[in-house]
Amino acid sequence: MSKTTVAAAVSLALGLTGVLLTACGSDGDSNGGAAGAPELAVDGAYLPRPPTPDMAAGYLSVRNSGSGGDKLTSVTTALSDDVTMHTTEGNAMRKVTEFEVPADGELDLARGGNHLMLAKLTRQPKVGETVTLTLHFATSQPIEVKVPVKPTSYRPED
């Protein structure tokens, strides 16, 4: 074998190794392959005083200023061990297992749309109190939110 043939074979082998490593490697991203990472913040949170003693609804916005999306996967609170996420379609609520938080976008949980339901309340929250909710995400760290209890008929300004 000549030196030129050996050099060409080594060059080809190294090139193929690089291609294989690139194809098999990870870009270090854990948010489903999207470029970048989510940067989440929560605002506008409120919980209307429940009209019944055992169930409440929660509303808030999750803003994502990052270049990667995320998903809200669950919510926990000392007020209830049964917090579920719902979407409203027509006049019917439907339970969902997650909500998308798009890159450079927001997730709005509002009356008449996506929202949280807290069932089997441990106590009846009163107007003026604060309830702590912990939001859990697919890739981001949990976010603890202090949520004010508002009058039952409260509607935030648009």
Q: Of residues 18 and 96, which shows the higher confidence score? A: 96
Whose CA is closest to 125, among 16, 52, 27, 40?
A: 52
Is pLDDT at 9 greater than 80 in this prediction? no
Q: Which residue matches tokens 């709005």?
A: 108
Estimate to the nearest angstrom the gap between the alpha carbon of 37 and the chain centroid.
13
Quote the pLDDT of residue 35: 63
Mean pLDDT estimate for the chain: 84
Quote the pLDDT of residue 24: 37
Is pLDDT at 107 greater than 60 in this prediction? yes
Instruction: Give 126-142 pLDDT, tens digit per residue.
Output: 999 999 999 999 999 99
Position 34 confidence tier, pLDDT thresholds 50, 70, 90? very low
Average pLDDT over residues 112-118: 97
Position 157 confidence tier, pLDDT thresholds 50, 70, 90? confident
Which range (19-33, 39-53, 68-82) has the least confidence?
19-33
Q: Distance (Å, rounded) from C-alpha 64 to C-alpha 105?
A: 5
Q: What domains are there in the chain, each with its CATH number?
A: 40-150 (2.60.40.1890)
Quote the pLDDT of residue 31: 42
Angle at 101 between CA 111 and CA 92, to 5 degrees: 35
Q: Hey, what's the torsion of the CAs at 62, 68, 72, 78, to 10 degrees?
A: -70
Position 158 confidence tier, pLDDT thresholds 50, 70, 90? low
pTM of the model: 0.77
Pair 149, 76: CB distance under 8 Å: no
pLDDT above 70: percentage of residues in the chain: 77
**Measuring CA to CA, how many Å separate 78 from each of 14, 19, 36, 127?**
58, 51, 33, 17
